[in-house]
Amino acid sequence: MKKTFHLPVVIGLVLALSFAGLGALHAARVPGDNKTETNAPDSTPDQQQMRGLDEQVQEVKSDVLSIAAELNQLEEKLLYPSGTQVAIFVALAKGDQMRLDAVRLEIDGQLVAHYIYSAKELEALRKGGVQRIYVGNVTTGDHQLNVLVDGKLKAGMDFSRTQHFTFHKEVKPKLVELTMAGPDAGKTPIMFGEL
């Protein structure tokens, strides 16, 4: 048997197993073994109290979510009315391996967003997440959008690209989607889409 002993690994595994109890995959309880993680129907008063509190926490979460929804609507109405609202979204092309480091956006020559991505955010984009990078106000009519992307390619080379687009703002809210891709993917580096 291997003699090395890594405590953090053990802790991780113990916790991982305890989390296994949260899912359907569940190690059954050994008769007479109180240490086996299981859903014991005969819960202690402490457990009952914890579950009672859990219900109340769920209720308050629901309440706060509904406040958040209303607050969002108010914020949108007050700060970004549909007549002037423009929202810009960033996505990564499916399966693209480029490491997106930063995105800079200029509307009509004005810098409106300069975002530097953390590893967690990049991972979320790679998994299909879409980031709302900017929400602001513009007048109806045509506008210039300059997009600058900095990143690193899979091979380790730096990647930088600037592209210019024009979008037309109408009375309804304007949604712009920018899909980034490294040159390896053989796709347009910055795909522009609008709604």
Instruction: Scan residues 97-136 and list those touching other proteins (CB under 8 A).
Output: 120-121, 123-132
Q: What is the dihedral of CA 121, 124, 126, 128, to 10 degrees?
A: -140
* Cα torsion 109, 106, 191, 132: sign: negative
Q: How many residues bind other proteins (CB under 8 A)?
A: 93
* Shortest distance, position 179 Cβ to other proteins, whole Å: 8
Q: Decide: is 186 part of the binding site for other proteins (CB under 8 A).
A: no
Closest CA to 113 of 131, 95, 128: 131
Q: Decide: is 5 part of the binding site for other proteins (CB under 8 A).
A: yes
Q: Decide: is 21 part of the binding site for other proteins (CB under 8 A).
A: yes
How many angstroms separate the CA atoms of 151 and 33, rounded? 54
* Shortest distance, position 135 Cβ to other proteins, whole Å: 11
How many angstroms separate the CA atoms of 91 and 103, rounded? 11
- The DSSP annotation for 153-171 comes to -TTS-EEEEEEEEEEEE-S
Smaller CB distance to other proteins: residue 109 or 141?
141
Smaller CB distance to other proteins: residue 43 or 166?
43
* Shortest distance, position 18 Cβ to other proteins, whole Å: 4
How many angstroms separate the CA atoms of 131 and 134, rounded? 9
Site for other proteins in 143-162 (CB under 8 A): none
Secondary structure (3-state) at 80: coil
Smaller CB distance to other proteins: residue 45 or 109?
45
Exactly one of 14, 102, 111, 157 binds other proteins (CB under 8 A); which one?
Answer: 14
How many angstroms separate the CA atoms of 177 and 195, rounded? 8
One symbol per residue from 62 to 101: x for binding other proteins (CB under 8 A), - otherwise; what is it?
Answer: xxxx-xxxxxx-xx-xxx-x-xx----x-xxxxxx-----
